Structure 1
Amino acid sequence: MKLIGIETATDSCSVALWQNGTVLEHFEMAPRRQTERVLPMVAALLADAGLTPAQLDGVAFGRGPGAFTGVRVAVAVAQGLAFSIDRPVLGISTLASAALAAFDRGAQGPLLTAFDARMNELYLAVYEQQGSDGVHALVADCLASPTTLPPLPAQVQMGTGSGEVHREALQRALPGLQQWLPDGYPRAATIVRLAAPGFAAGEGVAAAQARPVYLRDQVIQGARQ
């Protein structure tokens, strides 16, 4: 099985290829440049692997939450590529992707994964590692104010992601939160690793069914006007 993953929800831009458990990734920081960078990165990745798009079996993408434009870019590119080769797609939580990337770097769970959502809000979740290529949500992805957080496991001692800007408020809710792993970005490499079991189980859907997850209703409503 050969899968490609696309992740553009934060200031980073990455694409990755999963081939029967082996992962090749291209990753770069590209704030507000994902639209111009992602397709050349896909082409370069496939060239490096000696593959054509038609040889892919599925397209995984970071479905959000994250920057509104960045999430839309990943969905649109995944849809376009999947349509062109008539392959299924599968969206993966960007918070889950960032959590697995943090576990790869030695983070210990349960891990608070939080992105700055602007407007004095956070996208956050709590994950524990499940095997070498999986995560399990103890607190599901949600949008919250730093001063009105959902119930969080008291044993959380480490966090990651751009939500560190609200670390002081988070530590008031979680006194044990003493460590923060920097550069907590979602990555295409962890997107494809998390997606592989779903594709193997037949959970991929038609390209037209690819959906972003914004978590902020007012942003979606504003975009539809």
Structure 2
Amino acid sequence: MRVKPMRILAVDTATESCSAACLVEDKLHQCRVLNPRGHSRLLLGMIEEVLSKADVLRDDLDAIVYDAGPGSFTGIRIGAGVAQGLALALQKPLLTVSSLMTLAEALAGELRPKDRILAAIDARMEQVYWGCLERDEAALGGWRWHQSPRVSDPDTVSAFTAGCVGVGSGWDRYAAVFQKDDEIVWRAGAFPDAASGARIARCLLDQGASGEWRDATPAYIRNDVTG
């Protein structure tokens, strides 16, 4: 039983969207900017902004979480560096979340029982990072993977899209390939965000998760650098 509200700082720099969020129990304070090239310049100021809005000092945080990918190599490294530095300096637990799971989390309130989400992020080089998930409160982070995160060409992904709800920049670019002859519901213009990462982190902490800064490493999925 908690003796004080849980305070979680989340950052997400894995895609074109740069965001920070502070979750204090059920109250969320967030800042988000769509800026493909400005993450390193924006992130620290965004962190200070959400902490100020939440009236939370760095030392009072219970945990820090960052989006470990997949996504932009450069973006992920920025988020990892900032989150690891804060966790080390403050001696706080550091957790990671998947960018694909945060995309799914943003749709959680709109799903019907047993709905599956196929989250896909444009990986450039005519490929996408993708995974298929279903809401399951008993699973790690509140989501069960049907297809774990991977990188594939769009034609390969199209074999798994039937009956799913689509989300992510991969759908924005390859929806025509993914859908083929099926009419599939998908959310346009969606990016991973720190607010969803904070909610997943709260679930992980409630499930007993903890993390050391040195163990919270990026999940690039692909070895080729694409930005």
Q: TM-score range by the shorter chain?
A: 0.7 to 0.9
Q: TM-score, normalised by structure 1?
A: 0.88
Select 2:219's aligned residue among 188, 209, 213: 213
**CA distance, structure 2, for counterparts of residue 166 and residue 153 of structure 1:** 12
What is the CA–CA distance in structure 1 between the aligned matches of 2:66 and 2:99, rounded to whole Å?
A: 9
Residue 154 of structure 1, CA deviation = 3.3
Aligned position for 1:37: 42
Distance, in Å, in 1 between the alignment partners of 2:154 and 2:40 is: 30
Q: Structure 1 residues 107, 202: closer, same or farther in 2, change over 3 A? A: closer
Provide the rounded CA distance (Å) in 2 between the counterparts of 1:85 and 1:207: 11
Give the equivalent residue in structure 1 for 2:154. Answer: 146
Match of 2:135 among 129, 132, 142: 129
Instruction: Tell me, yes or no, if the aligned pair for 1:90 and 1:199 is still in contact at 8 Å.
Output: no
Q: Distance in 2 between matches of 1:107 and 1:31?
A: 30
Aligned to 2:105: 100
Equivalent residues of 2:158, 2:177 under 8 A apart: no
Q: Percent same amino acid among aligned pairs?
A: 30
8 Å CA contact retained: 1:159, 1:177: no
> Deviation per CA, 1:59-83, whole angstroms, max 9, x where unpaired?
0110100111111111111101111
Please point out which of 13, 27, 36 is paired with 1:8. 13
Q: Distance in 1 between matches of 2:17 and 2:198?
A: 16
User: Which residues of 2 match residues 82-121 of structure 1 at below 5 A?
Assistant: 82-104=87-109, 106=110, 109-121=115-127
* Paired letter, 1:4: L
* SS of residue in 2 equivalent to 1:64: coil
Q: Secondary structure at the match of 2:160?
A: coil
Uncovered stretches (5+) of structure 1, i.e. residues with no partner: none
CA distance in 1 between partners of 2:146 and 2:182 (Å): 17
Q: In the comparison of the two structures, how many residue pairs are matched?
A: 216
> Residues 17 and 24 of structure 1 are in contact (CA less than 8 Å); yes or no, is this contact kept in structure 2?
yes
Could you tell me how far 1:191 is from its partner in structure 2?
Answer: 0.3
* Structure 2: runs of 5+ lacking an equivalent: 1-5
TM-score (norm 2): 0.87
